Structure 1
């Protein structure tokens, strides 16, 4: 691998281990085994590098999920995504941190917007992307009460037929 690839790999490791907000230029350079100057040379800024690393890591997760979930059943595909909120929690948290950074960085916003456009294409539209984002927040904050893949599909079917989702079952109604 060259310096550019080493930096991307190092930045991915830092995102997972330290998160977006706590990752420094020094952390990335150390993880990649290159000088600090290489970040500016190859990416222009730490934010550009972290954003590219994040988009690449999310793409890799998408490829992994596609390989592991060959099912055509929507419940199983959504459940695989939901399961990734636990197995790849640090990556999902890094995405949230990046979204916050985008508020103050046009550069980060531009890169994330590109990633969202690709996400909409991969998921089949804006609504699935919005649903994924909302599910991610629910699972990161309150995983014991967040919906399963089957819950998601049942509520979507209810929404499609009635124009409004049915309320979720109350605890203990199981």
Structure 2
């Protein structure tokens, strides 16, 4: 690995250990074995490096969630089973990856003051919407962008809300089965 990749990996480690807002350039340099000048040279500044590091960490988390319902045996799942498998995995991963989840909230606050962070979050959210529409309903975002965005936005709201509840009070947060029951109740009233 070169300095660029070392910096990125060091920044990811710091985000997971210290949180997004508490990570300093010196922390990253220490974790990566590089030097302060490398941050500017390779990333143009700390904001760009931190955005790239958070993007890498969150993207890996999101893909692990998608893989949970795209693995062998998932083809035969009903819509309810697919939904519940996803949210079971998601809820457990929020608990096991708490530092990363908290770092995303740090980043939300930083987005007001950092264009690279805001851009990374916006692009990540758009990509996640399309991924959820594809994974849950087979909607091709390229062929049906409006439909994919609509359905994906529903899942974005649901994931964000569940993530928040699990972080704040995991013992009282809804289970995957609670969520599927709630969706059925809401859908029946339309």
Question: Normalising by structure 2, what TM-score?
Answer: 0.81
In 2, Cα distance between the equivalents of 1:144 and 1:5? 38
In 1, Cα distance between the equivalents of 2:111 and 2:66? 28
Q: Which residue number corresponds to residue 135 of structure 1?
A: 162
In 1, Cα distance between the equivalents of 2:16 and 2:55? 13
In terms of fraction of residues, the more helix-rich structure is 2
The answer as to whether partners of 2:25 and 2:36 remain within 8 angstroms in 1 is yes
- Structure 1 residue 5 displacement after superposition: 0.9
C-alpha RMSD of matched pairs (Å): 1.4
| 1:160 matched to 2:187 | yes
Per-residue CA deviations over 1:36-79 (Å, capped at 9, x if unaligned) read 11111111121211111111111212333344453442111111
Q: How does 1:12-161 map to 2 (within 5 A)?
A: 12-69=12-69, 70=71, 71=74, 72=77, 73=81, 74-124=83-133, 125-161=152-188
In 1, Cα distance between the equivalents of 2:68 and 2:32? 29
Instruction: Specify the SS of the correspondent of 1:21.
Output: coil
In 1, Cα distance between the equivalents of 2:154 and 2:49? 29
The answer as to whether partners of 2:91 and 2:163 remain within 8 angstroms in 1 is yes
In 1, Cα distance between the equivalents of 2:42 and 2:131? 28
- Structure 1 residue 107 displacement after superposition: 2.4
In 2, Cα distance between the equivalents of 1:123 and 1:65? 10
In 2, Cα distance between the equivalents of 1:17 and 1:93? 11
Question: Normalising by structure 1, what TM-score?
Answer: 0.88
Structure 1 unaligned regions, length at least 5? 164-174
In 2, Cα distance between the equivalents of 1:159 and 1:128? 14
Instruction: Specify the SS of the correspondent of 1:147.
Output: coil
